[in-house]
Structure 1
Amino acid sequence: MTSDSIAANDSFFKDGLSAGWPICLGYLPIGMAFGVLAQKAGLTPVQIGLMSLLVFAGSSQFIAVSMISAGASAAAIITTTFVVNMRHVLMSSALAVYLRSAHRGLLALYAYGVTDESFAVNLPRFNAHEWSLGRAMVVNHAANLTWFFSTVAGGIGGRFIPEGALGIDYALIAMFICLLIYQIRKWIHLLTAVIAGIAAVGLALAIPGNTYIVIASVMAATIGVIIQRIVMRRKTNHG
C-alpha cells in the first residue's frame, strides 16, 4: 500500500468520524436507556446485543421491547416493526441516486447502517458532491458500533436501576421529539407534524391498538404533499 493510499484511507476515516461523532454522542444515552428498558422487559445482555446488531433501528427496538413487555405476539411485533421501518425504503431510494456505480456487496453493507440520523448527515453531503461511499459507511458503522455497545452496557447496568427511575421510560418519546425538531426545516414540515399529531389523537380515541399511528402518519404525509404541490403550482402560475 502506497503512502498516497494510506493518506486517502486516513482522510475518509477522519471525514466520516468528523461528520458522525454527533450521532454517536446522541446514541450513547438513548442506547443505554434502551438497554435498561430491554433488561426490565426480560431480555439478557446477549439478546439485547443481538437485537441491536440484527435490527439496528432505535425506534423499532423501543417499540418491540414495549410490545414484549405488554405480552404481544411475535407476529404483531414483527408486523409493527416492519411497518415502522418502511421509511428506510424511501431513505435508501434517495441515497441510491448517488451510489449507482457502487458494488452491490458494499451497497448492502451500507444499507444495513442507514438510520434517520445517518441519513440526515450523509444526504446533504452527497447533494453537495463532497461525499463518498467510504465516508458515508464510516458514519453509518461508527454509529452502529456506538449503538451496540451502549445498548449492551444499558442491559448489563439495568439490573442496578429501579424500574421507572431517571425518566428512562420517557426515552422513546424524547427521541422522537428530537427527530421531529431536527426535521422541521420549512413551514410545510411543521404543518404536516401538526396534522399528524391531531389525526393521531383523534384516531387513538376511535381505533384500538397502535395502528392509529401508522394511519395518522400516512394521512399527514399525503395531505402535506398535496398542500405543497398546490402552493408550488400557484407560485409557478403567478411567477
Structure 2
Amino acid sequence: MKEIDTDTGYTTFRDGVKSCLPTVLGYLGIGFSFGIVGINSHLNLLEITLMSAIVYGGSSQFVMCGLLLANTSITGIVMTVFLVNLRHLLMSMTASPHFRDESLLKNISVGSLLTDESFAVFSTTVAQKKHFSLRWMEGLNVAAYITWIVATILGGLVGNFIANPEQFGLDFALTAMFAGLFITQFEWELTKSQRKSIAVVISVGLSLYIMLFFVSSSVAVIISALVGCFVGGIMHDSK
C-alpha cells in the first residue's frame, strides 16, 4: 500500500476499532431498531441474525422487511436488494487501489465488510492524507460488523414487546444516522469539495422526495442515487 507522509496515522487493529467508535454508537441504535422492525415483519430471531450476518446492509434489510410484509416474490426481493446494494461494488472498487499490495483474499475480506459508514470513515482518512494500514481497515470493519449483529439480536429480543415500531420513529433511525454521520464530516468553514458534497446530497434528497410520488420507494432510492452520481460527475468535471 502506498504510504503518505504525515505526522499521524493508523496502523493497528486497535486504531481501527477506535476509529469505528462513532459508527458503533450509531449501529447500536439502528441495529436495535432493525431487530424490532424485523420481529414485527414476522421474522424470528434466527432469521434476523442470519440476515444481519449474511446480507449485512442496513438499508437493504429494512427494504427486505417491507417487501416481505408486501408479499413480494423472492425474485423481486433478490433483485431489489441487489440494486440497493450495488453501490457497495463502487465503494469496494474505490478502496481496493489503496490495498493493491495485499492478497486477493484480504481485499475480498475488506470489500465484503465495507459499509456506507466504514467507507465514510475510510474516505475521510484518505482525504486527510493520513497513513493507514490493512490492520486498521480490518479493525474498522470487524468492529462495525460485530456491533451490527449484536445490536440486531438485542432488538429482536425485545421486538415482541413493541407492536408498532413506527410510533417511536424507529423506521427513521437509519436516515437519522446517515444525517448525523454526514454532518460530522464537515468543519465550520466548508471547503470547495465539501460544498460539492452538500450539493450532491441535496440533489439526492430532492429527487428522492419527488420520485416517491411517482414510483415505489425502492425504485425512488435507485433513481435518486443515479441523480446524485450524475450531479457529482458534472461538478467534478467542472472544477
Distance 2:203 2:130 in 1: 34
Q: Which amino acid aligns with 1:219?
A: V
Assess, with a 3 A threshold, how the Cα gap between structure 1 residues 125 and 197 changes in structure 2: closer, same or farther.
Answer: closer
- Whether the aligned pair in 1 keeps the contact of 2:13 and 2:138 (CA below 8 Å) is no
**Equivalent of residue 171 in structure 1, options 166, 170, 173:** 173
CA distance in structure 2 between the aligned counterparts of 1:142 and 1:132, rounded to whole angstroms: 16
Distance 1:104 1:228, change over 3 A: closer
| Higher alpha-carbon Rg | 1
Contact 1:126 1:132 in 2 (8 A): no
Gaps of 5+ in 1: 1-10, 233-239
Q: Please give the alpha-carbon distance, in whole angstroms, between the structure 2 residues aligned to 1:39 and 1:162.
A: 9
Q: Is the 8 A contact 1:16 1:135 kept in 2?
A: yes
Matching residue of 1:100:
100
Report the TM-score when normalising by structure 1: 0.83
Q: Structure 1's 66 and 139: CA in aligned 2 closer, same or farther, altered over 3 A?
A: same
Q: Secondary structure at 1:102's aligned position in 2?
A: coil
Equivalent residue for 1:84?
Answer: 84
**Structure 1 stretch 122-131 or stretch 112-121: which is displaced more?**
122-131
1:1-239 pair list within 5 angstroms: 12-126=12-126, 128-164=129-165, 165-182=167-184, 186-207=194-215, 210-230=218-238, 232=239
Is the CA contact (8 Å cut-off) linking 2:63 and 2:218 kept in structure 1?
Answer: no
Letter in 2 for 1:100: R
Question: Is contact 1:36-1:157 (8 Å) kept?
Answer: yes
Residue identity matched to 1:110 = V
For residues 163 and 78 of structure 1, the distance between their equivalents in structure 2, rounded to whole angstroms, comes to 26
Instruction: Figure out how many residues of one structure are paired with residues of the other and give that number.
Output: 221
| Separation of aligned partners in 1, 2:126 and 2:196 | 24
Q: Against the structure 1 CA distance between its residues 26 and 220, is the aligned structure 2 distance closer, same or farther, given a 3 Å change threshold?
A: closer
Relative to the length of structure 2, the TM-score reads 0.83
Q: 1:121 to 1:227 in 2, by over 3 A?
A: closer
Residue pair 1:28, 1:147 contacting (<8 A) in 2 also: yes
Residue of structure 1 in register with 2:4 after alignment: none
Cα shift readout 1:142-193 (whole Å, capped 9, x = no counterpart): 1100100110111111112232343223223323433554567622222222
- Matches of 2:54 and 2:134 in 1, distance apart? 22
- Alpha-carbon distance between aligned partners in 2 of 1:173 and 1:125, rounded to the nearest angstrom: 23
Which segments of 5 or more consecutive residues in structure 2 lack a partner in the other structure?
A: 1-10, 187-192
Q: Give a deviation string over 1:24-83, Cα, whole Å, max 9, x none.
A: 121101100000000000111111110011011111111111211222221111111111
Relative contact order: is structure 1 or structure 2 higher (C-alpha 8 Å, sep ≥ 6)?
2
Deviates more, 1:77-86 or 1:36-45: 77-86
Please give the alpha-carbon distance, in whole angstroms, between the structure 2 residues aligned to 1:202 and 1:131. Answer: 40
In structure 2, do the counterparts of structure 1 residues 72 and 227 end up closer, same or farther at CA, with 3 Å as the change threshold? same
| Residue identity opposite 1:101 in structure 2 | D
Asked if the contact 2:35/2:156 (under 8 Å) is kept, the reply is: yes
2:98 is paired with a residue of what secondary structure? coil
Q: Partners of 2:179 and 2:124 in 1: how far apart?
A: 22
